[in-house]
Amino acid sequence: MTILDLGCGAGRDVYIASQLVGKNGRVIGVDMTEEQLKVAKETQAYHAEKFGYDNVEFHLGLIEKLDDIESLKDGSVDIIISNCVINLCPDKESVLKSCHRLLKPGGELYFSDVYANRRVPEELQKDEVLWGECLSGALYWNDFQNMAKRCGFKDPRLVEDSPITIENKAVQDKMNEQGHSNLEFYSATYRLFQLEDLEPHCEDYGQAVIYKGTIPRFESGWSLDDHHYMEKGKVFPVCGNTYNMLKQTRFEKHFDFVGDWSTHYGIFDGCGTSIPYSSASVNGGVSTKGGGGGGGCC
């Protein structure tokens, strides 16, 4: 498969991914910082010798302007990854639009980033220290979901999350003094599928899937997202969107599929609209959902 890493830095995730795709795969790293890419390229020969193949390439550029990278063609990428970088981009919608365009049908944007429980006020958006802490650029979670849908990713799926604690007392004091003590930040991992058949909401068609236990390292069960953990061999009812996320993607070979699209039973139970993060708090830290995720951000 071909994997694209947005904001690859010194290439750590690129070289991890290069082992996963193997000698017949390809991993492309894009970053705006020459010094970081210099480090990534300096270790390329070392990794090629260790792995027995060289399947990576690095490009200097802005992830808001992926059109400028000639080797990136429409519909040429299987998976796009990114670790806590998109929040730093002034034009996040351009990033998501480019990702949708570059992904093959059935491809996936699987990434971690920072989000907020409400829109970050303008005075905090302009704070350089908060930018450095990767907080000022955080999208309000619902703005992100709506943006993702506008860009063609019709059903964003949250995989895991965790609260971000502001350890810098001066930063927290500044937020408190400006009346924003209830502004909360979360690290969250999402997966966005490039699938045209997805619906805006989770609709029930009486379908189910059975996981075969064939994904490496997940022989007993596997999680599509934060509320779809499927045990091996167990019939698991799913909405039409989840059915397609498994049937029309690289995951198809790992599942048996039950049912068709002949009967519609209405909205699928459990399709909510409140803040989706299991680590979200209300009234002084009481969890709204119980349990915790453990987000993937740096």
18-42: pLDDT as tens digits: 999 999 999 999 999 999 999 999 9
pLDDT > 90 in the chain, percent: 77
Q: Work out the average pLDDT over 173-191.
A: 91
Q: What is the pLDDT of residues 56-77, one digit of tens each?
A: 999 999 999 999 998 899 999 9
For residue 283, what pLDDT is reported? Answer: 46
The secondary structure of the chain in percent helix, strand, coil, rounded to multiples of 5, reads 30, 25, 45
Q: What is the pLDDT of residues 114-139, one digit of tens each?
A: 999 999 998 888 888 888 888 889 99
For residue 130, what pLDDT is reported? Answer: 83
Residue 276: inside a domain: no
**pLDDT at 262 > cutoff 50:** yes
- To the nearest 10°, the Cα dihedral for 15, 144, 159, 118? 120
Residue 221: inside a domain: yes
Please indicate, yes or no, whether residues 91 and 234 belong to a single structural domain of this protein.
no
**pLDDT at 289 > cutoff 60:** no
Residue 148 sits in a domain whose CATH number is 3.40.50.150
Compute CA distances 113 → 7, 181, 215, 271, whole Å. Answer: 12, 21, 25, 23
Please indicate, yes or no, whether residues 27 and 89 belong to a single structural domain of this protein.
yes
For residue 273, what pLDDT is reported? Answer: 60
Position of tokens 């220290």? 129
CA–CA separation, 64 and 246 (whole Å): 29
Residue 268: inside a domain: no
**pLDDT at 13 > cutoff 60:** yes
For residue 290, what pLDDT is reported? Answer: 44
For residue 281, what pLDDT is reported? Answer: 64
Residue 74: inside a domain: yes
Domain limit, last residue, from 198, 229, 248:
198
Please indicate, yes or no, whether residues 188 and 214 belong to a single structural domain of this protein.
no
For residue 171, what pLDDT is reported? Answer: 81
Residue 288: inside a domain: no
Q: What is the pLDDT of residues 71-101, one digit of tens each?
A: 899 999 999 999 999 999 989 999 999 999 9
Residue 54: inside a domain: yes
H-state helical runs in 52-168: 92-102, 122-125, 128-132, 141-150
Domain limit, last residue, from 152, 177, 198:
198
Please indicate, yes or no, whether residues 172 and 213 belong to a single structural domain of this protein.
no
Please indicate, yes or no, whether residues 85 and 161 belong to a single structural domain of this protein.
yes
Please indicate, yes or no, whether residues 124 and 188 belong to a single structural domain of this protein.
yes
For residue 134, what pLDDT is reported? Answer: 84
Question: What residue numbers bound the domain in which 248 lies?
Answer: 207-258
Please indicate, yes or no, whether residues 57 and 161 belong to a single structural domain of this protein.
yes
**pLDDT at 284 > cutoff 70:** no
Q: Work out the average pLDDT over 135-147.
A: 94
Please indicate, yes or no, whether residues 153 and 243 belong to a single structural domain of this protein.
no
Residue 236: inside a domain: yes
Q: Work out the average pLDDT over 181-192.
A: 94
What is the count of structural domains for the chain?
Answer: 2
Q: Work out the average pLDDT over 182-208.
A: 95
CA–CA separation, 8 and 59 (whole Å): 9
Domain limit, last residue, from 198, 221, 244:
198
Please indicate, yes or no, whether residues 44 and 135 belong to a single structural domain of this protein.
yes
Please indicate, yes or no, whether residues 85 and 20 belong to a single structural domain of this protein.
yes
Residue 44: inside a domain: yes
Please indicate, yes or no, whether residues 217 and 160 belong to a single structural domain of this protein.
no
Enclosing H/E stretch for 16 = helix 12-21
Please indicate, yes or no, whether residues 140 and 231 belong to a single structural domain of this protein.
no
